[in-house]
Chain A
Amino acid sequence: MTPTLNLWLIPILPLAGAAINGFFGKKSSRTAVSTIALFFCGAAFVWALSVAWRFSSVAPLHQEYLAHWIRSGSFTADFAFYLDPLSLVMLLVVTGVGFLIHIYSVGYMWDDPGYYRFFSYLNLFMFFMLTLVLANNYLVMFIGWEGVGLASYLLIGFWFTKDSAASAGKKAFIVNRIGDFGFLIGLFLLIQHFGSLNFTQIFEGVPHLTPGAGTEALLTTVGILLMVGACGKSAQIPLYVWLPDAMEGPTPVSALIHAATMVTAGVYMVARSHVIFERAPMALTVVAIIGTLTALFAATIGITQTDIKKVLAYSTVSQLGYMFMACGVGAFSAGIFHLMTHAFFKGLLFLGAGSVIHAVGGEQDMRKMGGLKSYIPVTAATMGIATLAIAGIWPFAGFFSKDEILWKAYQANWVYWLIGLVTAFITSFYMFRLLFMTFWGDYHGIQVDAHGRVHAAHGDDGHGEPHESPMVMLVPLMILAVLSLVGGWVGIGNRFEHFLAPVFGSGEAAGSGKEAAGNFTEYLLMGVSVLVAALGAILAWVLYVSKPYLPQKIADGFGSLYEAVLNKYYVDELYAALFVKPLVDGSTRILWQGVDRKVIDDSINDAADGAQHVSDEVRHMQSGNLRSYAGWIAAGSAVVIAYMIWLGVGR
């Protein structure tokens, strides 16, 4: 008998919070709204912790059945939950980081008129994300998958009166639909061949498939389709374009949804489906190549961006690429490890960026910042820690996870490793560039007395200098800073990998045999990657602190290449020309002007006009003149009688 963990409480609690705030929040005070939001989110976190505490006494796989959903023939899909070390890690990351970001949002969003709406959406997001993580079959996972997409759309377009925010939300939603389309087809294939979407049934079924070209083709197809879904959600090439635009949302949203949790759903899904991928080497190669390319590609764009959130957005895309690279070389636990540490330090970076934006009155352009470390020391320190972590400097969290990935990549193919290393260098460079541009040098910004944005405004804001954020925003920063520092230590001695071993199984245990032999190489590689990260930092120091006139010169030197990178390789323009414009033109000329106007509208209008013309003629008969009616009756009768007489005569 397995003890019950009441997993259903975890997603339901935030849903309750979302409902209460959504329905009654408008009339409640801000304090009440934040109390409710924090209580329900915190309760989910506490419950997740207690589940984690008791989990060790349960089998490594725990399932809970909640309710029927679909029972059709032999196919069933129920509302049921699935807990194993993998979902537990996700659970703790989502609820933990989510809770911290909820706290932070209380401070960040305090002056926003849509305060209750924001927290309602945020709780709703938590509900869907937890559903996604805890699902025991792909269909319930898909509910969560679409739900987080919805929450993301609502939150990106949170300031929907701003045109750019509204269209960014739409862009995110539409691009994600493309990925979801692949995901759905993958699910249909799974139903067709396994008759089920249940994780246990599919994962037990896969090893029993007869080996052969047909099986491999099937699993490869499924794997690639799932990867298409993951590309959409996790912003990988070619569907990454929505994530940078998603920065139109409030900064806590960028931290929670577009850095720490939602965008990692794709990685989670691929890791969850590792049984399928492991038997489809080609699909894994696709995952690895997409991940590696995305990591490098996004990192290079990150160098040139000047909007502080855009840099972080491209950095997120790049780090997600790392995670996919890890999954692609079969090191799923390394990918999940990086997912976790990334949630800490990238969440922290975004929250820090929010604090900076708050401090300078809504400005996001780093060229108008600078020298902020004396104004906002806590933010500067915590962001410094996060930068060290993402750059992969020992002993910060990023070092352990990134190194794990690079090491596994090296074992798989040195090309992945090399690109990963180059990316690590670029990452370190652009992150320190961000840090130096924002916190070092002289302050270039406007004096903050007239606030551009409502959310950044303080009622009593008389001073003209950048100011530190309130405590409610700083505490989450500090906690995340600690996690960014110590979060990687769970990976020492492969403890994290062993924790996840029940999920990813023996495939990785086999690798551990080689480790003894490869120890020297591993340490060498570690040294190289730290060295590379340090070089990136030094280069950033030289370019942005000691010789700030150099970057412009270098940029001029590269000329058109720099232009291309600055404009994000014109990918948005390319997509617009390739897909959006033909679609819009086709819809306008053919569907709207051609089909809708010419065929549908005209046929309806012609029918109506015809009816009117006929009626115009026919209505003269109904004159209201009694004698003419009588005349018609007499004439009609005469005709009928004549006809009958003619009939009689004819007979």
Chain B
Amino acid sequence: MVPLSYYLVLSGILFACGVTGFLIKRNIITIFMSIELMLNGVNLSFVAFAAHWHALAGQVFVFFVMVVAAAEAAVGLAIIIAVYRTRETLNVDQVNLLKL
């Protein structure tokens, strides 16, 4: 059996990749995908703990996260399309209307 720590390390790596991608990427779709990566890193740790402790709550949380992530993806992609239509760019640094 694979020990818990492996899952957690993988989960940490996935989350760190997500954070790094979020911070350094400029394309809004890549940023969006990085967020998904972070969510899934967290999901992995949830299910790992759930399996380890034989507690179903962790798995239920994962379902919730997936539902919310799906909804978020739908809304987020819609916003991305809207932004692209008006500004013709997906570079977040140029979407700065509210900046000082």
Residues of A within 8 A of B (CB): 624-627, 630-631, 634
Note all chain A residues with C-beta closer than 8 A to B24: 627
Note all chain B residues with C-beta closer than 8 A to A625: 99
Note all chain B residues with C-beta closer than 8 A to A627: 22-24, 92
B92 and A626: CB pair below 8 A? yes
Q: Annotate B12-54 by CB proximity to A: 1 below 8 A, 0 otherwise.
A: 0000000100111000000000000000000000000000000
Note all chain B residues with C-beta closer than 8 A to A631: 23
CB distance from B88 to the nearest CB of A (A): 20
Q: Residue of B at shortest CB range from A625?
A: B99
User: Counting CB contacts under 8 A, is B86 at the interface?
Assistant: no
Note all chain B residues with C-beta closer than 8 A to A634: 19, 23
CB distance from B42 to the nearest CB of A (A): 12
Q: Residue of A at shortest CB range from B20?
A: A634
16 pairs from A and B in contact (CB 8 Å cutoff): A624-B96, A624-B98, A624-B99, A624-B100, A625-B99, A626-B92, A627-B22, A627-B23, A627-B24, A627-B92, A630-B19, A630-B22, A630-B23, A631-B23, A634-B19, A634-B23
Q: Annotate B86-99 by CB proximity to A: 1 below 8 A, 0 otherwise.
A: 00000010001011
Q: Residue of A at shortest CB range from B34?
A: A630
CB distance from B33 to the nearest CB of A (A): 15
6 extra interchain contacts, Cβ-Cβ under 8 A, other than A624-B96, A634-B23? A625-B99, A627-B22, A627-B24, A630-B19, A630-B23, A631-B23
Q: Residue of B at shortest CB range from A626?
A: B92
User: How many of B's residues come within 8 Å of A, CB to CB?
Assistant: 9
Note all chain A residues with C-beta closer than 8 A to B96: 624
Task: Report the Cα distance A626→B92, complex, angstroms.
Answer: 9
Task: Report the Cα distance A429→B14, complex, angstroms.
Answer: 117
Task: Report the Cα distance A626→B24, complex, angstroms.
Answer: 11
CB distance from A636 to the nearest CB of B (A): 12
Note all chain A residues with C-beta closer than 8 A to B98: 624
CB distance from A412 to the nearest CB of B (A): 90
CB distance from B55 to the nearest CB of A (A): 20
Task: Report the Cα distance A625→B92, complex, angstroms.
Answer: 10
CB-CB contacts below 8 Å: B52-100 with A: 92, 96, 98-100
Task: Report the Cα distance A634→B100, complex, angstroms.
Answer: 24
Q: Residue of A at shortest CB range from B100?
A: A624
CB distance from B85 to the nearest CB of A (A): 21
CB distance from A607 to the nearest CB of B (A): 26
Note all chain A residues with C-beta closer than 8 A to B19: 630, 634
Q: Residue of B at shortest CB range from A634?
A: B19
CB distance from A646 to the nearest CB of B (A): 17
Task: Report the Cα distance A371→B73, complex, angstroms.
Answer: 111
CB distance from A629 to the nearest CB of B (A): 10
Note all chain A residues with C-beta closer than 8 A to B100: 624
Task: Report the Cα distance A631→B19, complex, angstroms.
Answer: 8
Note all chain B residues with C-beta closer than 8 A to A626: 92
Q: Residue of A at shortest CB range from B99?
A: A624
Task: Report the Cα distance A145→B23, complex, angstroms.
Answer: 81
Q: Residue of B at shortest CB range from A624?
A: B99
Those 6 A-B pairs whose CB atoms lie nearest each other, nearest first: A624-B99, A634-B19, A627-B23, A631-B23, A624-B100, A630-B22
Task: Report the Cα distance A631→B100, complex, angstroms.
Answer: 20
Task: Report the Cα distance A463→B26, complex, angstroms.
Answer: 98
Note all chain A residues with C-beta closer than 8 A to B92: 626-627
Note all chain A residues with C-beta closer than 8 A to B22: 627, 630
CB distance from B36 to the nearest CB of A (A): 15
Task: Report the Cα distance A324→B96, complex, angstroms.
Answer: 88
CB distance from A140 to the nearest CB of B (A): 67
Note all chain B residues with C-beta closer than 8 A to A630: 19, 22-23
Task: Report the Cα distance A501→B92, complex, angstroms.
Answer: 104
Task: Report the Cα distance A627→B22, complex, angstroms.
Answer: 7
Task: Report the Cα distance A411→B30, complex, angstroms.
Answer: 117
CB distance from B59 to the nearest CB of A (A): 24
Task: Report the Cα distance A630→B25, complex, angstroms.
Answer: 12
Note all chain A residues with C-beta closer than 8 A to B99: 624-625
CB distance from B5 to the nearest CB of A (A): 14
Task: Report the Cα distance A631→B22, complex, angstroms.
Answer: 9
CB distance from B17 to the nearest CB of A (A): 12
Task: Report the Cα distance A634→B16, complex, angstroms.
Answer: 10
Q: Residue of B at shortest CB range from A633?
A: B19
Most buried by A among B23, B24, B98: B23
Q: Residue of A at shortest CB range from B15?
A: A634
